[in-house]
Amino acid sequence: MVQLKNELAKIKGIDKRFLTRLEKLKITSVRDLLWHFPSRYDDFSQIASICDLEADQTATIQGQIKHVSSRRTWRRKMIIVEAVVADDTGSIKAIWFNQPYLTKVLAPGRIVNFAGKISASQNDIYFSNPVYEFSGGGEREEGHTTGLVPIYPETKGLTSRGLRYLIKIILKNLNPVDEFIPLKALEENDLPEINEALATVHFPESLEEASRCKKRFAFEDLFLLQLNNLKVRSQLAKEKAAPINFSKIDLGEAITSIPFELTGPQQKSLTEILNDLSKGQPMNRLLQGDVGSGKTVVVAIAALLAAKQGYQVVFMAPTEVLAKQHYKTMTKIFAPLISNWELNVGILTGNEARCFFGEDLETEKKKAELVKEIANGAVKIIIGTHAVIQKDIKFKNLALAIIDEQHRFGVKQRAKFAADKKELFPHFLSMSATPIPRTLSLTIFGDLDLSIINELPKGRQEIATKIVAPANRKKAYDFIREQVKEGRQAFVICPRIEASEKEDGTAHQMMWKDVKAVKDEFEKLATKIFPDLVVGMLHGKMKSAEKSEIMNDLAKNKINILVSTSVIEIGVDIPNATIMMIEGAERFGLAQLYQFRGRVGRDKYKSYCFLFTSSSSTNAKQRLKSLVEAKNGFELAEKDLEIRGPGEFLGHSQTGLPDLAMNALNNMELTKAARDTAEKIIKKDPELEEDELLKEKLEHFQNQIHLE
Ligand code: ADP
Ligand code: MG
């Protein structure tokens, strides 16, 4: 008998090469294998006559193998196996790619079932990549070509056939698995028990059965996700944090020191944050708001107030550019306050260390020196990149950790702050400019409290957004020239850094054929279109020093037009820029396009966003159109979610959630049921001490996902 936790490699009789291929899919244990669900099921319950077959249908036939051969395509170096099979009514060819061993298996004379799709070539029809099963004789293996046949997401050399074979044997020898979902919850939601679900999801008798099982597994993940969220919440509620109490006078002074009035949502968010900070439990809050909605100003006030009380604050950004930006915002807007309150602000990145003490008082530091001052508490507010959580960084009395674009930081990184906690846990404040629809954030960020800034500061102009037809490219360039003449600046975004070296006609090549590359576009704009203007280039492969130089020049308006990859996406603040031109716009997600657009319109000047696309797909056009129409980021997010579904919207890699659960996020009913179930359990047994199995299961799940 095998157990879920058994390693496949330890099970006798599984082919080594097969194991290696499974490993590529991160399938190493029995559990991994059984949780690798079919992506669809083909229905082969009827056996057709060969003479009745038509192109584009899916069919099963039974016949005798007449002939087998293989050949190699000279360009693609692929091996094609061809077999001819005949029944009483006729014969048909079958073709497979890259499965040379089939010439040995499909011996002429044998009776075989073929099942799969019928394709058409110029003058004939053929089976393409059919599954096969010998009929009669020693190798008979049921369940491949009659009834519902599970089809798995395949990778090179790992066929659905091989998977079916292995899964079937494993299921036969599997020790019964313990059910960890409360029976009552299963009953209430009409979900099958685990052992039944495992067997049936791989070999169902009907599609309804299959989908009921998949629903069960989706529920399982949603349930664990909610359980995780609630547990994090209840654990954090037990930790102690420094209650940061500040006077109304200080707050008033901070607010009057800024040269503008806070918007309603800014005030509300600030109140929520300050309220959390005053408590003895750690805050765990997410501040969401459009680019330019004024999040930085809000968190800066919280940071300054905490520092005034003598605490240390760390403010971490995902990139150097962003860290500098925050440093600039702080030191510019709040310079008088920093002097008055005798505070200081340090910046620490891979490349620089400096400290600001108030108006015109800034010193360059050796990194080691700054690190020492962080450790002895001399530096109060530390802004930086990952550099601020390296091993050598110790804080004296860290009370507030602010994390910008938090989804770019992992749980592990967050844990590093907590590891320093000694007695007290720091308050956590995350910021994100990626608006997430409320329904989703309740599930995905269910452990966080939310503050939302859904209004831009007064006087911001709407950014004119246009999808530009290729024929109007010159007009767009003329417009850029006009704007530059008036003193403004422009961004040109391209989807990739450079064109591939050689045109070799591969699929990859074809896919990227018309996609603009930063280097080419830079070359073209600098020499042909705008030889009289200063064109700059920015991309991720450049050295950090080069990038800073470009950003500095850009800030000083020494660069008129910047050609860039998506590195410009987050946070860059050049108020003088008025044009955002995006090449290959269909290649970016809506949220990303939205971020790009947020780079302009940050000052009083009317700003523009030009979208270029070579795609004619309706989906792409629909998406671009919603960018043109959307009023704010949240509205856009709802749309994006609608068009792309939660999986693509959030990005699988970003959450680590299994696909099934991802898709189930759209199912509010199931999500709510999962949350209710989780709530009941946590209420009764917060540490899951009464349920060892569930506790273990949750730990396994937590290791799998990386929700931030
Ligand atoms: P975010 O961090 O949300 O992208 P920032 O805090 O960087 O936004 O603010 C963007 C710009 O708007 C900054 O130049 C900031 O000084 C300015 N700003 C912020 N809040 C207001 C406001 N209430 N009124 C006017 N300008 C504001
Ligand atoms: Mg910002």
Show which of 578, 609, 631 is a domain's final residue. Answer: 631
Show which of 390, 417, 432 is a domain's final residue. Answer: 432
- pLDDT score at 422: 59
Number of separate domains in the chain: 3
Q: DSSP strand E in 502-607: where? A: 535-538, 561-564, 577-582
Q: Residues 422, 469: one domain?
A: no
- pLDDT score at 230: 87
Indicate which ligand has the atom closest to the C-alpha of 457: 1
Q: How many residues does the chain have?
A: 708
Q: Tokens 């960020």 correspond to what residue? A: 445
Q: Residues 256, 404: one domain?
A: yes
Q: Tokens 């856009």 correspond to what residue? A: 636
Share of residues in the chain with pLDDT > 70 (%): 87
Q: Residues 401, 473: one domain?
A: no
Q: What does the pLDDT average to over 311-340?
A: 90
Report pLDDT digits (tens) over 653-668. Answer: 455 566 667 667 767 7
Residue 707 in this model has a pLDDT that exceeds 70: no
Q: What does the pLDDT average to over 315-344?
A: 90
The reply to whether 662 falls in a domain is: no
The reply to whether 601 falls in a domain is: yes
Q: What does the pLDDT average to over 453-479?
A: 89
Residues 6+ apart with CB under 8 A from 74: none
Q: Residues 274, 416: one domain?
A: yes
Q: Both tokens of residue 42?
A: 């083909």
Residue 505 in this model has a pLDDT that exceeds 50: no
Q: Residues 475, 616: one domain?
A: yes
Residue 255 in this model has a pLDDT that exceeds 50: yes
- pLDDT score at 406: 63
The reply to whether 20 falls in a domain is: no
Q: Both tokens of residue 441?
A: 């954030």
Report pLDDT digits (tens) over 99-143. Answer: 888 888 888 998 888 888 899 888 889 998 888 877 654 333 455
Q: Tokens 């070539």 correspond to what residue? A: 121
- pLDDT score at 57: 85
Most informative mutation of 258, 296, 604 for ligand 1 (most atoms within 8 A of CB): 296
CATH code of 120's domain: 2.40.50.140
Q: Is the CB of 291 under 6 A from ligand 1?
A: yes
The reply to whether 640 falls in a domain is: no
Banded model confidence at residue 510, pLDDT cuts 50, 70, 90: very low
Least confident of 185-189, 199-203, 234-238, 648-652: 648-652
- pLDDT score at 468: 92
The reply to whether 132 falls in a domain is: yes
3-class secondary-structure state, position 249: helix
The reply to whether 223 falls in a domain is: no
Q: Which atom of ligand 1 is nearest to the CA of 297?
A: 6
Report pLDDT digits (tens) over 421-448. Answer: 556 788 999 998 777 777 677 677 777 8
Q: Residues 491, 397: one domain?
A: no
Selection from 180, 708, 269, 680 nearest residue 446 by Cα? 708
Residue 506 in this model has a pLDDT that exceeds 80: no
Q: Residues 428, 484: one domain?
A: no
- pLDDT score at 414: 60
Report pLDDT digits (tens) over 345-386. Answer: 999 988 888 788 776 677 877 888 999 999 999 999 999 988
Paired with 464 in beta bridges are 608
- pLDDT score at 275: 96
- Which residue's C-alpha comes closest to atom 4 of ligand 1? 292
CATH code of 555's domain: 3.40.50.300
Show which of 127, 145, 163 is a domain's final residue. Answer: 145
Paired with 58 in beta bridges are 117
Report pLDDT digits (tens) over 479-496. Answer: 999 999 999 999 999 988
pTM above 0.85, yes or no: no
- pLDDT score at 554: 93
- pLDDT score at 208: 87
Q: Residues 340, 414: one domain?
A: yes
Q: Residues 274, 349: one domain?
A: yes
CA distance 335 to 359: 5
The reply to whether 526 falls in a domain is: yes
Q: What does the pLDDT average to over 66-75?
A: 86
Rg of the chain in Å (alpha carbons): 30
Most informative mutation of 262, 267, 290, 297 for ligand 1 (most atoms within 8 A of CB): 297
Paired with 561 in beta bridges are 490, 535
Q: Is the CB of 298 under 6 A from ligand 1?
A: no
- pLDDT score at 387: 86
- pLDDT score at 507: 46
Neighbouring C-alpha atoms within 13 Å toward the C-beta of 654: 14
Q: Is the CB of 358 under 6 A from ligand 1?
A: no
- pLDDT score at 659: 67
CA distance 30 to 449: 38
Distance between Cα 594 and ligand 1 center (Å): 17
Q: What does the pLDDT average to over 570-590?
A: 86
H-state helical runs in 159-244: 160-172, 183-188, 194-202, 207-238
Mean pLDDT rounded to a whole number for the chain: 84
Q: Does 519 or 292 have the greater pLDDT score? A: 519
Residues spanned by the domain of 85:
46-145
3-class secondary-structure state, position 398: strand
Q: Does 67 or 700 have the greater pLDDT score? A: 67
Residue 325 in this model has a pLDDT that exceeds 70: yes
Q: Residues 390, 474: one domain?
A: no
Q: Residues 589, 506: one domain?
A: yes
CA distance 31 to 701: 12
Q: What does the pLDDT average to over 163-190?
A: 91
The reply to whether 665 falls in a domain is: no
Residue type, 500: S
Q: Which atom of ligand 1 is nearest to the CA of 325?
A: 7
Distance between Cα 602 and ligand 1 center (Å): 9
Banded model confidence at residue 456, pLDDT cuts 50, 70, 90: confident
Residue 643 in this model has a pLDDT that exceeds 80: no
Residue 501 in this model has a pLDDT that exceeds 50: no
- pLDDT score at 69: 92
Report pLDDT digits (tens) over 399-413. Answer: 999 998 765 555 555
Q: Residues 521, 411: one domain?
A: no
- pLDDT score at 502: 44
